Chains A and B, each alone.
Chain A
Amino acid sequence: MATRTITHYITPEDSPLGGTSLEIIATIGKDLSSKKIPISLTICYQKDKPEIDEQGKVISKTQSSTLQYYHYSIPNKLRNRKNNEFVIGIPLLDTNNDWVRDISRKLADATAKKYEVPCYVSWSTTKPSDVTSISMDQMFVLRNCINFINTLYN
């Protein structure tokens, strides 16, 4: 086993600014000093936290969600004056939803830049469309995801 997988829920109560509930499944290398093991983040947007009984068993049914976007970012090892990007990224599964593409790319780029490892971000939603999302929500998602990855590194 070279990796571990952690599931994490974020609820709007975590932030005074409010936001949307999220589920994050992160796979991260056990050897945190290795720069070759990628972090992979799978995010389910607007997912309700499942009810859990005293034995820790999940009562409510798993909500199905649709994969919308899959992005890969990698730190730029060949960085020079001409090619000045810190991170290079590519969509592996594209979407026509700009909001989803933007936030996933930002999250992948930020993670790749901060921890100097390749990063895969897959974004899924439980509801068909979320065009009503506002930019405040984007900050909430990004900050909470980065905070969560931070806890994995400490």
Chain B
Amino acid sequence: MSEYTASATFNNDQGSLSGLPLDITSIHFSNQILLQIRLNGEMDSTYEVTKRGLNALDQGISRPIAGFNSVPSEEQNDDDEFSYNADVVRDNLADFQVVTKLGDTTDHKMPVICTQMGELYQSVIIPMLRTSGKSNELTCDGSSLIITISSKIFRQPKGEDQDPDNELDFAKLVFVLKTIKEMYSI
């Protein structure tokens, strides 16, 4: 197993989290990657992210992190109702299955966040480690991820209708993903 750590502090772009420390530890095993994301040292929820589906067939085709490669055109779907545009049907978020091991199962935000982390490992970090020659010690291909995270990072303060933090979720996610990526570039 090999181990990576990184620390960062949330800044004013992340609203109410400003000034709180973010500590990330990841440990690579041959079958799993264990990722622990702490806000202020705390963490409470655990998710398992596994890769599913046939997207190995799509390897080599450049694909966006989110959204579609192309916009569906009106002319195509005239006569044949079974014809489809492969790019439109393709949903990259569906490549991952997220299981809530411990935490709020009614929270639909966290599985999406975990999927984004799975996607980061799949499309950026594992290829990065491979090209830097560390792949022989890291037999794991990043297809299975266990994430222990503090759910407070993305929690909304209660009783506030016009909550400014609502729009900051994306900024928080980008900050966390950026810290994970920086952890490997040391």
Contact = CB atoms under 8 A, between A and B. Distances in A.
* Main SS at interface, chain B: strand
Given A64-B137, A66-B31, A2 B21 contact: yes
B151 interface: no
A40 B3 contact: no
B25 A27 contact: yes
B86 interface: no
Contact of B137 (A37, A40, A61): A61
A3 B41 contact: yes
B116 interface: no
A42 B27 contact: yes
B48 A90 contact: no
* Main SS at interface, chain A: strand
Nearest to B31: A66
A25 B34 CA distance: 12
Contacts of A31: 41
B21 A1 contact: yes
Q: Interface range on chain B: under 10, 10 to 19, 20 to 34, or 35 or more? A: 20 to 34
A124 B138 CA distance: 15
A32 B27 CA distance: 23
Contacts of A63: 1
Q: Interface range on chain A: under 10, 10 to 19, 20 to 34, or 35 or more? A: 20 to 34
B81 to A, nearest CB: 45
B137 A93 contact: no
A123 to B, nearest CB: 10
A23 B13 CA distance: 39
Contact of A40 (B36, B40, B102, B139): B36
B102 A90 contact: yes
A94 to B, nearest CB: 10
Contact of B42 (A7, A37, A72): A37
B27 A25 contact: yes
A104 to B, nearest CB: 14
A40 B25 contact: yes
A147 B136 CA distance: 34
B25 A5 contact: yes
A108 interface: no
Contact of B1 (A93, A120, A124): A124
Given A2-B40, A92-B102, A66 B146 contact: no
A65 B27 CA distance: 11
Nearest to B25: A27
Interface string B31-68: 11010101011110010100000000000000000000
Contacts of B101: 92-93
8 contacts: A2-B38, A27-B25, A37-B40, A42-B1, A64-B29, A64-B138, A66-B30, A70-B46
Given A5-B25, A93-B32, A122-B27, 15 more contacts: A1-B23, A2-B38, A2-B41, A5-B3, A25-B27, A37-B40, A37-B41, A37-B42, A38-B42, A61-B137, A67-B31, A67-B32, A92-B148, A93-B101, A120-B148
Interface of A: 1-3, 5, 7, 23, 25, 27, 29-31, 34, 36-38, 40, 42, 44, 61-67, 70, 72, 90, 92-93, 120, 122, 124
